Amino acid sequence: MRKNTESTPVTAKERYSDQIIWENFLCGDDEAYTYIYREYSQALYAYGMHFTSDKGLVEDCIQDVFVKIFQNRKHLQSTDNIKLYLFISLKNKLFNIFRKDIKYSQIDSLEPVFAAEYTIEDEIIENEKEQFLNEKMIRMLEVLSPRQKEIIYYRFVEGLSYEEICQIMDMNYQSTQNLIQRSLKKLRTTFSRAEMQFVLFLLISI
């Protein structure tokens, strides 16, 4: 159970663990809330754009996530990974909207497509060479299923642990391991070792 201790002010210059920042926010520290918004809103936008090209929808959902956590912070649980918590919240919000959309009303099982191209297209490309490399990476990732793209993104771009991926994808540990291994095997059987190193290097550089 959370202790009602006096919160510690959070500034951009100070470095706190996620757990301390979150606890401060839960205790009513508005500076902690502002810090969380500024620190993670852009990452949430990039993440949300993997599921839809509707920028307005993603922005609205992000705002809704932050409004909801602010309104309900007295009832929220502790966390030691704020980004993971927000990612799960945004993903659930988007999926709920997709399922309610009239376009999907006749679909029994809806799994929104996780696409590699949206975020990369929206990022500022510094030069034509970088744009060429990003487009090549996208073409290479097209051999993967949406589910495989998603798990590769979590593992190599966001650097999530297997346990964290289990949470965000609602899978057990063994299934998570198996999906990552199948995804990497698909890439290995399709591309040379040099090409594999190339795509993984670009992934962790995003």
Q: Which CATH number goes with the domain that contains 200?
A: 1.10.10.10
- 129: enclosing H helix or E strand: helix 128-141
DSSP string for 178-199: HHHHHHHHHHHHHS-HHHHHHH
Assess whether 126 and 96 both reside in one domain: no
Is 10 contained in some domain? no
- 166: enclosing H helix or E strand: helix 162-169
Over the stretch 8-60, which tens digit does the pLDDT of each residue have? 444 443 446 999 999 999 999 999 999 999 999 999 999 998 888 889 999 99
DSSP at 191: S
Assess whether 130 and 59 both reside in one domain: no
Q: Cα(2)–Cα(23) distance, rounded to whole angstroms?
A: 8
Assess whether 71 and 144 both reside in one domain: no
Q: Which CATH number goes with the domain that contains 48?
A: 1.10.1740.10
Which one of 80, 104, 128 terminates a domain?
Answer: 104
Q: Cα(170)–Cα(44) distance, rounded to whole angstroms?
A: 19
Is 77 contained in some domain? yes
Model-level pTM?
A: 0.66
Number of folded domains that form the chain: 2
Domain, as residue range, for 164: 117-205
Contact 168, 87 (CB under 8 A): yes
DSSP at 114: P
Q: Across residues 57-74, what is the average pLDDT? A: 95
Assess whether 131 and 98 both reside in one domain: no
